[in-house]
Structure 1
């Protein structure tokens, strides 16, 4: 479970938003707000990449432990960004192997990856070069990479922003189903109300969970 405990961010001592108190347990919660409202900064606070000049009050806990005292690597977070960020010099399999925990045996990794590719209808692209994939195919591989690392939390940063409407309509439910099967918290930043799972979102400007 991801829990915000009266968490508030400041830039040069100016508050970006009102204190957030919210629990996310095995569900997908979207963060929305106007440009400059603090969406990306909140995202980076969870990830552990805040730049100099930021300060905070309150806490962010994952499964009862404060994230704010941990390094980025210790937070065990899977990420999917607007850009797929796949390694262009690696094929699909190599990209996915890179994401698997180093403690897993290679045979286990290959078996797991094979099952994921089947579920994503991408098995035939196992050895394909990344550059040969379509935008929707790259998004699927990027999503698989985010969950193969066995994260305790997944962050989505505008994951549908670069897809056309037809691809969005196909990819959105597939991605949500993939993540919900993991029963882990998912935090997503988006500008599009249509991207919000079950039409619910946290409005940073109102400081509350809202519904369409």
Structure 2
């Protein structure tokens, strides 16, 4: 359980300042970044995760505990991402999707047991062999969350992950996501334009574009 430090981050586009952030997200804390479209919320996530477009110029450090992430490729940063869309692989079963990001440590049977336990934990017991196309929107969102968590990230980034769910599912998924990141002590940064997301996260809020 390590903090995620965003140290003196400045991002510009075409020479114009876009955003500046300097903060530390504690283990298990959910920090919300809000602001209108185009203010740079997703750009900040891209910089932290390691896939910022070369159109932007960025400076500053991203640290997970003592690890400097800024110069590491995205796949070595151990940062989990949850997007608006579940982005499940259509050619893989639910189990195949979960296995995609899972460590190869342990036997195949042990990995299957981890998948089964994770699915049961979110009310999807017996769904291992299901085709993602047969799942409801809420079920897909739960599988997407499990796929990220089973990859054992050191921090989480949430890119408006509840915006495409209906009102009832939004409440359920907010409660589930925030409970899981707190249980695991994951420092979490969520970008959103929905004040209800920030209220549910019950943490600090940074407003961009003020």
Same fold (TM over 0.5): yes
Pairwise CA distance, 1:173: 0.3
- Is residue 105 of structure 1 aligned with residue 107 of structure 2? yes
Pairwise CA distance, 1:199: 5.3
- Is residue 204 of structure 1 aligned with residue 203 of structure 2? no
State the match for 2:53 in structure 1.
51
List runs of 5+ in structure 1 lacking aligned partners. 207-212
- The correspondence of residues 4-153 of structure 1 with structure 2, limited to 5 A, is 4-17=6-19, 19-26=20-27, 27-153=29-155
Q: Counterparts of 1:28 and 1:106 in 2: how far apart (Å)?
A: 33
Number of positions where the alignment pairs a residue of Structure 1 with one of Structure 2: 205
Write out per-residue CA displacement over residues 114-160 of structure 1, whole angstroms, 9 at most, x where no aligned residue: 11111101012221110000000000000000110011111111110
Tell me, what secondary structure is at the counterpart of 2:202? helix
Change (3 A) 1:110 1:50: same
RMSD of aligned Cα (Å): 1.3
TM-score, normalisation: structure 1: 0.92
Q: Counterparts of 2:41 and 2:58 in 1: how far apart (Å)?
A: 14
State the match for 1:210 in structure 2.
none
Q: Counterparts of 2:37 and 2:90 in 1: how far apart (Å)?
A: 31
Q: Counterparts of 2:142 and 2:115 in 1: how far apart (Å)?
A: 13
Change (3 A) 1:40 1:135: same
Tell me, what secondary structure is at the counterpart of 2:179? helix
Pairwise CA distance, 1:172: 1.1
List runs of 5+ in structure 2 lacking aligned partners. none
Q: Counterparts of 1:179 and 1:36 in 2: how far apart (Å)?
A: 27
Bigger drift between 147-156 and 104-113 goes to 104-113
TM-score, normalisation: structure 2: 0.93
Pairwise CA distance, 1:43: 0.8
Asked whether the equivalents of residues 155 and 188 of structure 1 are also in contact (C-alpha less than 8 Å), the reply is yes
Q: Counterparts of 2:60 and 2:177 in 1: how far apart (Å)?
A: 31
